[in-house]
Amino acid sequence: MDVAFPYRVDARGRTAESDLDTHVRELIEQVLFTAPGERVNRPAFGSGAMQLVFAPNSDALAAAAQLTLQGALQLWLAERVRVEAVEVVNDEAALRITVQYVVLRTQERRTARVEREVGP
């Protein structure tokens, strides 16, 4: 078992845990939705995906975003997953990201779909 994200205390008063699949998905979300510079001791950590919500839609932006996000995932999670594909859809005030990956510990292929909306 791994520490759950976001950090929380479970019903027993202990650090909450998550299974491997959930933990890897939580790690993917952390990388995608942390802006570089946001973490004091790891200023390069993250991908800056939330900035894409405010960028104009275009094929060039989508291609650049896919490469940027895939690179960030490979950099920060290379010991846990092998990223096979990243798809980014920017739809008005919502950002939808689909990541296809293989969990290295189990060699199981997984897909994570994450979405963030920007509200007023």
DSSP symbols for 2-67: EE-SS--B-TTSSB-EE-HHHHHHHHHHHHHHSPTT-SSS-TT-S--GGGGGGSPP-HHHHHHHHH
pLDDT at residue 65 in the model? 83
Average pLDDT of span 69-82: 94
Number of domains in the chain: 1
pLDDT, greater one: 79 or 91: 79
Q: What is the pTM of this model?
A: 0.81
Range of the domain at 111: 2-117
User: 94-103 and 108-117: which strand pairing?
Assistant: antiparallel
pLDDT at residue 119 in the model? 55
Which DSSP letter does residue 50 get?
A: G
**17-21, 31-35, 38-42, 62-66: segment of lowest average pLDDT:** 62-66
The answer on pLDDT for 38 being more than 80 is yes
| Model confidence pLDDT, tens digit, residues 81-100 | 999 999 988 776 677 889 99
User: 2-3 and 81-91: which strand pairing?
Assistant: unpaired
CATH number at residue 84: 3.10.450.40
pLDDT at residue 63 in the model? 79
